[in-house]
Amino acid sequence: MTVITDPGLLARVDALQQAYAHALDRRDMQGWLACFASTGRYELTSAENVRMGLPVGMMLDDCHERLRDRVKYVNEVWNHAVEHYLARHLLSRDLCAWADDGSLAASTNFSVFYTNAEGKSALLAVGHYEDIIVDEGGALRFASKRAVMDTAVPPRYIIYPL
């Protein structure tokens, strides 16, 4: 793996991460979906499970159909029953490198705050993304996005992907 230093390329990676966070912070699930490649996958798990080599985490959308279904859950299925919150993602690029197959491997730290309907704010989760990024039709997209929470026990149920 070669670490990427090209400022132009890093700016494109940062823009993709920002578009991702921007979509989630506005509950724009179509915008979230648009950050993934046509074969993209998403996973949310805990560092605890990862450390023990255990495959089950909080969300596992391991094909594009599942990503599309998650948009439906949030927008249609769950819309009336769940108690919505506003998320705020703070991201910080950690490492970005070329993988052997020509894709980009990026690690980005995140902290996600939430504000409930009464306007009370708290930390939802801290962790990092392990992403595989590809160029699809001239735009960078996630072939795989894995959010690993250091937070083993979130303070409330998680509705939107992190």
Partner 1 sequence: MNAPSRDLPIRAWTDHTRIPYALYTDEAIYRQELERIFYGPFWQPVALEAELPAVNDYKTIVVGETPLIVTRTGADEFAVMVNACAHRGVQITTEFKGTASDFSCPYHAWAYDNCGNLRKVPGEERFPENFDKRHYGLRRLRAVLWNQVLWATFDDATPPIDEFFGEVADSIRAALGGGERRLKLLGYQKIIFNCNWKVYMDNDGYHAGLLHTAFRMLNYQGGTAPLVADGFAGHWGAHYGAQRMVDNGYLADPTLVFTEGDEKTAAVNLLRPVTQVVKHLNAINFRFGRPLGPDKTEVHYTYLAFADDPPELLQHRIRQSANLLGPSGFVSIEDGSMFERVQKAMGAPGGEINFLKGLKDSPDGHRSLQNDEAGNTPWWRYYKQVMGL
Question: Which residues of this protein are in contact with partner 1, per CB under 8 A?
Answer: 43-46, 48-49, 52, 54-63, 65-66, 68-69, 72-73, 76-78, 80-83, 152-159
Tokens 């795989």 sit on residue? 144
C-alpha 87/C-alpha 90 separation (Å) is 10
Question: Which C-beta is closer to partner 1: that of 74 or that of 104?
Answer: 74
117: its two tokens: 């309907």
Distance CA 156, CA 54 (A): 22
Nearest CA-CA partner of 90 in 151, 18, 32, 42: 18
Whole-number minimum distance, CB 159 to partner 1, in Å? 7
With contact defined as beta carbons under 8 Å apart, do 148 and 50 qualify?
Answer: yes
- The minimum distance between CB 62 and partner 1, in angstroms, equals 7
Which residue in 16, 119, 31, 113 sits closest to 71, CA to CA?
31
Query: At closest approach, how far in Å is the CB of 103 from partner 1?
Result: 24
Residue 76: DSSP 8-state: I
70 versus 140: smaller Cβ distance to partner 1: 70
Q: How far is the CB of 124 from partner 1 (least distance, A)?
A: 11
CB of 104 vs partner 1, minimal distance in Å = 26
